[in-house]
Amino acid sequence: MKIFVVDDDASLLGFMRRWLASLEGHEVCTFENGASAVDALKTQPPCLVVSDLEMPGMSGEEVAQAAARLPRPPRIVLMSGDRERLERAGKLAEATLNKPFSFKDLLSVIESRDCVSSS
């Protein structure tokens, strides 16, 4: 499954990329900002987008809204350390993750249903 991970925290982004790529069958693309992720959505649509909410420039909410406008929208998981903001943005996502979250929680969200990539 193709997964986009969007977060301005380079350490978390690198760790998630390595961890998710180690799971069989996942192609992971990482983005340090929302604008880059939205550009890539148009040319390499993923099955799943995992995005932080609070990033400079384009927010995770904006990434989720752009993804929802695709002909075949990906599943969206939003993550944040701001629980109130995460609750408000929850309607844009299939699931939310409070930071810090366990990778067991992330894995259960990823494996919650099958996804067939449109690429």
Q: What is the mean pLDDT of residues 33-43?
A: 96
Q: Decide if pLDDT at 116 tops 80.
A: no
Q: Does domain 2-110 have CATH number 3.40.50.2300?
A: yes
Closest among 71, 74, 70 to 5, alpha carbons compared? 74
Separation between Cα atoms, residue 70 and residue 115, nearest integer Å:
15
Percent of the chain topping pLDDT 70:
94
- pLDDT-derived band at 23 (thresholds 50, 70, 90) equals confident
pLDDT in tens, 67-114: 999 999 999 999 999 999 999 999 999 999 999 888 888 888 887 765
Query: The tokens of 63 are what?
Result: 């990434």
Tell me, what's the pLDDT at 95?
Answer: 92
Query: Residue 117 — very low, low, confident or very high, per pLDDT cuts 50/70/90?
Result: very low
* Structure confidence at residue 118 (pLDDT): 41
pTM of the model: 0.91
Provide the residue ranges of all domains of the chain, joining segments of one domain with +.
Answer: 2-110
**Which position has the higher pLDDT, 100 or 4?**
4
